[in-house]
């Protein structure tokens, strides 16, 4: 046994002093890892977010002094026809495009989950619109749906539709929203198809076999196995799609510029107009705040709804 | 008798740790809790330089926690830990100049076996010829030369374990911590490797701390055995001492259960004419 | 059931299944064609004279392909400059994003330090927040910093997202802690561990993040719209837009420019699509 006589120690001392400097060094190293990203993040994202919430209660046009607005901007929302139109249109867009995209994505996923030749190519083909440059596809879309010359109307005409009843698509205030919704669905269904594919592939095969033994046909298997098993995925996609729909801007700007009239004016477009065309920064931030709260509320409701359904 | 050092600074402590061919290890009043679980409850232990110490005990007794503390992967909540006489409270794991064999191998999956073995030596800034010489030597001793260009993913469990062992041994450090290094091998492989580890211990002259749940293995290989239970040391003795005078209560019961299995094992080995060690 | 009857039943179902199978294949091909039709039309229109673009029935393969379109677009608008601008911004954002995200994610995943979870929560809280909500203050900030109307504004806005940190941290958590511990015992400091162990092992996640960032930045429209008003700074998205409004009747040229705008993304996408798909799929599963 080695001698320990010459070792002095004090077991009542919980943490020896030298250890603290080692701790500090560890902490510093850790912070040095997160610093580059976190500093940039705070300055360029977190900061503006907080400032945005503040701006909603101020009057500012970017150059003149800031004045306190209290809830003025908020009350103004109710008497602003553009805001009301934007709110309505955004809700309409969401209500139309979320189910459409979801159903198409699911149908595509089921279709492309089968063992068919060229499956990988087809999956890529479905997915490609999502990554394609928005400006390029928007201009093609506008051309395709050109009321006078576009192939879509030509095809409809060939199928026997009376030229006077051919939809004027983006030029018609009743059809403009539909045009935009169709575009959005076409562009993004590939993305959600991928998510559904992953969900489908994670369903336990045994469940289908058990259903077969129980005598279920294809439709029943879909209703009683696939759909319930995909419920978490469906919820996730619904939430994502809803958030995306409330944020829609780019395609509206490119396809219809919010028109004709205000038939496709959406909330973000209204924010854009107010901020960068009218320089009414306080008011636009209020619209933005309202947008955020709506998105938050809808998301929470969706979560609550499915948790209750799951119970 | 080893000279005890009282270095003033971390740099000196680190130098002390590097300079010796074998380190002593000493713990006083060491406690460690993980959340609400008390893994180590007041450990006092002295290990001489160059000793081969085995830690045995039922799972959850604190063997691995103790090794991790000595390695510097975790910090003790209370108590003092000295390696080669130096207080290592301030010394991070990478400066403790010890080597560890992990139970889960912890081999770098994206590197070949050769690179796995060479990496610690490169970090220590050894020159290329030395690195190659040492890697090849240890590969021969552990019979993994034919695996040097493979990735760990392509190796069997037993091969991976030998590589993990090699990775520690290639460093020629004064202190080795081995956490159940042979647990995933079958009986004949275990027996063969036990002998080689013991030979290496004699050659290197370093301190070995060896955790195992295989009692026969511990008794066969170690100079002294530390029996642990529920975060405490139940008894420290030589193999002989443990068998002749087991502490009453836990140790006696623990050894009795294991010795039966060990005895049967010995009988079986004798009958198949295979060397036990 | 006798063996014969069972065999007969099996043959019968097999034939029925065959028909269903064929139906599925046909439907899939039709849908695939419909999805790709706009691109095919775009390609064929890009090789036509303006007056021929809208001829109906659609002439998918033009009898006299007008390759001149692809020459003209480079001179009519500074297309090359736009592509270069977009490439600059996209590459800068991607590199910064990869670097800073993986550094930060390593600390969040493998290191212990005070406020770790609180800070990470800060990241998560912003993921659901639409950028449009705070784009106005961002713009004001950029103006204050004098970055407005420079490409740096776009780079800096998109290089430090929560998404990157979130993705990388998720992946790093799946790497066993023992690897880092073995590396520490081998004598590596944390930076060496990150560089030699974590980074090489995280190639799948890095690839996913690369393609996400690449595509998002390349296709970004609203950002450049707000921040880049000088023509020579414009990216391909708004440059193309400008072109379209200037030459609104030059359908052939517009289509040719659009095709060119699509190619880089197509190339990157085809090269890394596996990671893209896996990345999306895994977010869905964990969501």
Pick the residue with more confidence: B268 or C49? C49
Picking from A19-23, A206-210, B173-177, C46-50, which range would have the lowest pLDDT averaged per residue?
Answer: A19-23
- Asked whether residue A199 is domain-assigned, the answer is yes
What is the reported pLDDT for A11? 42
* pLDDT tens string C174-192: 899 999 999 999 999 999 9
pLDDT band at C284 (very low <50, low <70, confident <90, very high): low
CB distance B108–C185 less than 8 Å? no
Q: Are B168 and B101 in contact (CB under 8 A)?
A: yes
CB distance A194–C251 less than 8 Å? no
Beta bridge partners of C266: none
- Cα–Cα distance measured from residue C220 to residue C158, given in angstroms and rounded to the nearest whole number: 10
Instruction: Tell me how close the Cα of B150 comes to any Cα of chain C, in angstroms.
Output: 17
Query: How many other CB atoms sit within 10 Å of the CB of residue C156?
Result: 21
Helix (H, G, I), strand (E, B) or coil at A59: strand
Superfamily of domain covering B26-98+173-249: P-loop containing nucleotide triphosphate hydrolases (3.40.50.300)
Q: Is B18 on the interface with A (CB under 8 A)?
A: no
Minimal-distance CA residue of chain A relative to B236 = A1
ipTM surpasses 0.85: no
What is the reported pLDDT for C263? 85
Considering its fold, how many domains does chain A have in total?
Answer: 2
Q: In the numeric block, which tokens belong to residue B249?
A: 């209560």
- Asked whether residue A4 is domain-assigned, the answer is no
Contacts of C197 in chain B (CB under 8 A): 108
Q: Report, as an integer, the average pLDDT of C203-209.
A: 85
Torsion of CA A135, A140, A143, A145, to 10 degrees: -100
Residues C21 and C134 in one domain: no
Residues A43 and A166 in one domain: no
Q: Is A141 on the interface with C (CB under 8 A)?
A: yes
Instruction: Tell me how close the Cα of C105 comes to any Cα of chain A, in angstroms.
Output: 7
Contacts of A22 in chain B (CB under 8 A): 10, 89-92
- Asked whether residue A97 is domain-assigned, the answer is yes
Q: Report, as an integer, the average pLDDT of A140-148.
A: 86
Q: Report, as an integer, the average pLDDT of B170-198.
A: 87
Residues A130 and A217 in one domain: yes
What is the reported pLDDT for B3? 38
Residues C245 and C220 in one domain: yes
What part of A 234-293 touches C (C-beta under 8 Å)? 236-237, 239-240, 243, 246-247, 249-250, 253-254, 268, 271-272, 275-276, 281, 284-285, 288-289, 291-292
What is the reported pLDDT for A247? 87
What part of C 193-252 touches B (C-beta under 8 Å)? 196-197, 200-201
Residues C137 and C239 in one domain: yes
- Cα–Cα distance measured from residue A47 to residue A58, given in angstroms and rounded to the nearest whole number: 17
Helix (H, G, I), strand (E, B) or coil at A68: strand
Residues C184 and C265 in one domain: yes
Residues C91 and C181 in one domain: yes
Pick the residue with more confidence: C14 or C267? C267
What is the reported pLDDT for B108? 93
Percent of chain B with pLDDT over 90: 38
Residues C119 and C252 in one domain: yes
| Structural domain span for residue C230 | 69-286
Beta bridge partners of A233: none
- Asked whether residue A61 is domain-assigned, the answer is no
pLDDT band at A15 (very low <50, low <70, confident <90, very high): very low
Question: Which of C35, C113, C133 minimises the CB distance to A288?
Answer: C133
CB distance C186–B123 less than 8 Å? yes
Q: In the numeric block, which tokens belong to residue A51?
A: 């400032």
Residues C244 and C194 in one domain: yes
Residues A46 and A85 in one domain: no
**pLDDT above 70 for A16:** no
- Cα–Cα distance measured from residue A171 to residue B114, given in angstroms and rounded to the nearest whole number: 69
Q: In the numeric block, which tokens belong to residue C188?
A: 């590596």
Picking from A248-262, C9-23, C133-147, C200-214, which range would have the lowest pLDDT averaged per residue?
Answer: C9-23
Q: Are B191 and B275 in contact (CB under 8 A)?
A: yes
What is the reported pLDDT for B276? 43
Residues A40 and A168 in one domain: no
Torsion of CA A60, A64, A66, A68, to 10 degrees: -70
Helix (H, G, I), strand (E, B) or coil at A58: strand
Picking from B85-89, B166-170, B176-180, which range would have the lowest pLDDT averaged per residue?
Answer: B85-89
Q: Report, as an integer, the average pLDDT of A289-308.
A: 82
HEC string for chain B: CCCCCCCCCHHHHHHHHHHCCCCCEEEEEEEEEECCEEEEEEEEEEECCCCEEEEECCCCCCHHHHHHHHHCCCCCCEEEEEECCEECCCCCHHHCCCEEECCCCCCCCCCCHHHHHHHHHHHCCCCHHHHHHHHHHHHHHCCCHHHCCCCHHHCCHHHHHHHHHHHHHCCCCCEEEEECCCCCCCHHHHHHHHHHHHHHHHHHCCEEEEECCCHHHHHHHCCEEEEEECCEEEEEECHHHHHHCCCCCHHHHHHHHHHHHHHHHHHHHHHCCCCCC
The mean predicted confidence, pLDDT, of chain B is: 84
Q: Report, as an integer, the average pLDDT of A190-218.
A: 86
Q: Are B59 and B213 in contact (CB under 8 A)?
A: yes
Residues C126 and C78 in one domain: yes
**pLDDT above 70 for C142:** yes
CB distance C103–A34 less than 8 Å? yes
Residues C153 and C231 in one domain: yes
What is the reported pLDDT for C197? 93
Instruction: Tell me how close the Cα of B67 comes to any Cα of chain A, in angstroms.
Output: 19
Residues A114 and A195 in one domain: yes
**pLDDT above 60 for B273:** no
What is the reported pLDDT for C99? 94
Pairing relationship of beta strands B175-179 and B99-101 according to DSSP bridges: parallel
Helix (H, G, I), strand (E, B) or coil at A67: strand
Q: Report, as an integer, the average pLDDT of C242-249.
A: 79
Residue whose entry in the numeric block shows the structure tokens 């009542």: A12
Q: Are A288 and A56 in contact (CB under 8 A)?
A: yes
CB distance C261–A186 less than 8 Å? no
Residues C19 and C133 in one domain: no
Question: Which of A2, A15, A22 minimises the CB distance to B46?
Answer: A2
Instruction: Tell me how close the Cα of B49 comes to any Cα of chain C, in angstroms.
Output: 20
Residues A228 and A295 in one domain: yes
Contacts of B102 in chain C (CB under 8 A): 178, 181-182
Residues A162 and A297 in one domain: yes
- Asked whether residue A246 is domain-assigned, the answer is yes
Helix (H, G, I), strand (E, B) or coil at A122: helix
Instruction: Tell me how close the Cα of C102 comes to any Cα of chain B, in angstroms.
Output: 18
| Structural domain span for residue A44 | 17-55
For chain C, the chains sharing at least 3 beta-carbon pairs closer than 8 angstroms are: A, B
Q: In the numeric block, which tokens belong to residue B181?
A: 């290094």
Q: In the numeric block, which tokens belong to residue A20?
A: 């603290």
pTM: 0.79
- Cα–Cα distance measured from residue C158 to residue C90, given in angstroms and rounded to the nearest whole number: 9
**pLDDT above 80 for A155:** yes
CB distance A2–B24 less than 8 Å? yes
**Closest to C106 in 3D by CA, of C182, C210, C187, C193:** C193
Residues A80 and A108 in one domain: yes
Considering its fold, how many domains does chain C have in total?
Answer: 2
Contacts of B87 in chain A (CB under 8 A): 16, 18
Phi-psi region of B50 (alpha: psi -120 to 50; beta: other; left: phi over 0): left
pLDDT band at B6 (very low <50, low <70, confident <90, very high): very low
Residues A202 and A264 in one domain: yes
What is the reported pLDDT for A98? 95
Residues A43 and A172 in one domain: no
Pick the residue with more confidence: C97 or A67? C97
Q: In the numeric block, which tokens belong to residue A158?
A: 């060939």
Helix/strand number for chain A, H first, E second: 15, 2
**pLDDT above 70 for C13:** no
* pLDDT tens string B112-142: 999 999 999 999 899 999 999 999 988 988 8
The mean predicted confidence, pLDDT, of chain C is: 82
Percent of chain A with pLDDT over 70: 92
Burial A119-138 (b: 16+ CB within 10 A, else e): eeebbbbbbbbbbbbbbbbb
Domain ranges of chain B: 26-98+173-249
What is the reported pLDDT for A52? 87
**pLDDT above 90 for B208:** yes
Residues A28 and A140 in one domain: no
CATH number at residue C281: 1.10.3720.10
What is the reported pLDDT for B267? 60
Residues A185 and A246 in one domain: yes
* pLDDT tens string B23-64: 899 999 999 998 888 889 989 999 999 999 999 988 888 899
What part of A 17-36 touches B (C-beta under 8 Å)? 18-19, 21-22, 25-26
Picking from C41-45, C164-168, C244-248, which range would have the lowest pLDDT averaged per residue?
Answer: C244-248
Residues C149 and C243 in one domain: yes
């Amino acid at each position: 046994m080695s001698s320990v006589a010459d070792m002095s120690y004090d077991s009542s001392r919980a943490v020896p002093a030298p250890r603290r400097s080692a701790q500090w060094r560890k902490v510093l190293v850790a912070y040095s890892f997160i610093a580059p990203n976190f500093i940039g993040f705070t300055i360029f994202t977190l900061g503006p977010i907080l400032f945005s919430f503040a701006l909603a209660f101020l009057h500012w046009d970017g150059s003149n002094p800031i004045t306190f607005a209290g809830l003025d901007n908020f009350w103004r929302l109710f008497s602003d026809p553009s805001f009301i139109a934007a709110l309505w249109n955004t809700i309409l867009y969401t209500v139309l495009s979320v189910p459409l995209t979801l159903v198409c994505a699911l149908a595509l996923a089921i279709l492309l989950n089968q063992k068919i030749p060229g499956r990988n190519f087809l999956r890529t083909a479905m997915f490609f619109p999502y990554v394609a440059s928005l400006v390029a596809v928007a201009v093609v879309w506008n051309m395709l749906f050109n009321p006078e010359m576009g192939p879509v109307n030509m095809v409809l005409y060939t199928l026997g539709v009376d030229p006077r009843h051919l939809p004027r698509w983006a030029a018609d205030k009743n059809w403009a929203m539909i045009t935009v919704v169709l575009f959005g669905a076409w562009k993004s269904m590939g993305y959600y198809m991928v998510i559904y594919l992953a969900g489908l592939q994670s369903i336990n095969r045994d469940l289908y076999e058990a259903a077969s033994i129980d005598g279920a046909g294809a439709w029943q298997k879909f209703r009683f196995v696939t759909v319930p098993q995909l419920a978490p995925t469906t919820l996730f996609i619904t939430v994502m799609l809803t958030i995306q729909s409330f944020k829609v801007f780019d395609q509206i700007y490119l396809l219809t510029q919010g028109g004709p009239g205000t038939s496709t004016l959406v909330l973000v477009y209204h924010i854009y107009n107010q901020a960068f065309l009218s320089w009414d920064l306080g008011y636009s931030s209020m619209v933005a705040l309202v947008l955020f709260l709506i998105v938050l509320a809808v998301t929470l409701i969706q979560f609550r709804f499915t948790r209750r359904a799951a119970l | 008798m080893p000279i005890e050092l009282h270095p003033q600074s971390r740099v000196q402590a680190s130098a002390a740790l590097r300079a010796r061919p074998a380190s002593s290890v000493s713990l006083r009043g060491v406690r460690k809790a993980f959340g609400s679980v008390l893994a180590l409850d007041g450990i006092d232990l002295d290990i001489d330089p160059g000793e081969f110490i085995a830690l045995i005990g039922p799972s959850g007794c604190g063997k691995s926690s103790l090794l991790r503390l000595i390695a510097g992967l975790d910090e003790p909540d209370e108590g003092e830990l000295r390696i080669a006489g130096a207080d290592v409270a301030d010394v991070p794991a990478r400066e403790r100049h010890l080597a560890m064999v992990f139970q889960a191998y912890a081999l770098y999956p994206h590197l070949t076996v050769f690179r796995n073995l060479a990496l610690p030596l490169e970090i220590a800034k050894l020159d290329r010829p030395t690195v190659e010489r040492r890697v090849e030597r240890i590969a021969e001793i552990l019979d993994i030369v034919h695996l040097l260009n493979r990735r760990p993913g392509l190796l069997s469990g037993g091969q991976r374990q030998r590589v993990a062992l090699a990775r520690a041994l290639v460093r020629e450090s004064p202190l080795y911590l081995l956490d159940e290094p042979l647990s995933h091998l079958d009986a004949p492989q275990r027996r063969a490797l036990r002998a080689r580890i013991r030979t290496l211990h004699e050659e290197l002259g370093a301190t070995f701390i060896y955790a195992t749940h295989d009692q026969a293995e511990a008794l066969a290989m170690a100079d002294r055995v530390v029996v642990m239970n529920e975060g405490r040391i139940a008894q420290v003795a030589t193999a002989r001492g443990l068998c002749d005078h087991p502490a009453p209560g836990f140790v006696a019961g623990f050894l009795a259960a294991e010795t039966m299995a060990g005895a049967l094992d010995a009988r079986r080995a004798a009958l198949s004419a295979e060397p036990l060690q | 059931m006798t063996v014969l009857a069972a065999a007969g039943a099996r043959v019968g179902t097999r034939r029925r299944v065959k028909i269903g199978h064929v139906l599925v294949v046909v439907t899939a091909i039709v849908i695939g064609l419909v999805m790709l039709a706009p691109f095919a039309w775009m390609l064929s229109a890009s090789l036509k004279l303006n007056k021929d673009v809208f001829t109906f029935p659609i002439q998918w393969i033009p009898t006299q392909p007008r390759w001149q379109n692809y020459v003209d677009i480079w001179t009519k608008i500074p297309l090359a400059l736009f592509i270069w601008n977009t490439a600059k911004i996209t590459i800068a954002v991607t590199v910064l994003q990869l670097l800073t995200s993986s550094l930060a994610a390593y600390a969040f995943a493998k290191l212990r330090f005070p406020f770790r979870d609180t800070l990470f929560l800060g990241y998560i809280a912003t993921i659901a927040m639409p950028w449009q909500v705070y784009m106005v203050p961002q713009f004001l900030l950029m103006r204050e910093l004098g970055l407005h109307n420079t490409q740096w504004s776009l780079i800096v806005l998109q290089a430090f997202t929560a998404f990157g940190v979130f993705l990388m941290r998720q992946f790093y958590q799946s790497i066993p802690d023992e690897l880092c511990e073995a590396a520490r015992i081998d004598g590596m400091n944390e930076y060496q561990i990150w560089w030699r162990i974590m980074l090489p092992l995280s190639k799948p996640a890095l690839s996913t993040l690369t393609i996400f960032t690449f595509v998002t930045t390349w296709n970004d429209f609203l950002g450049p719209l707000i921040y880049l008003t000088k023509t020579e700074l414009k990216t391909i998205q708004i440059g193309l837009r400008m072109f379209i409004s200037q030459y609104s009747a030059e359908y052939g040229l517009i289509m040719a420019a659009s095709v060119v705008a699509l190619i880089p993304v197509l190339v990157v996408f085809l090269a890394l699509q596996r990671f893209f798909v896996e990345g999306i799929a895994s977010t869905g599963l964990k969501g």
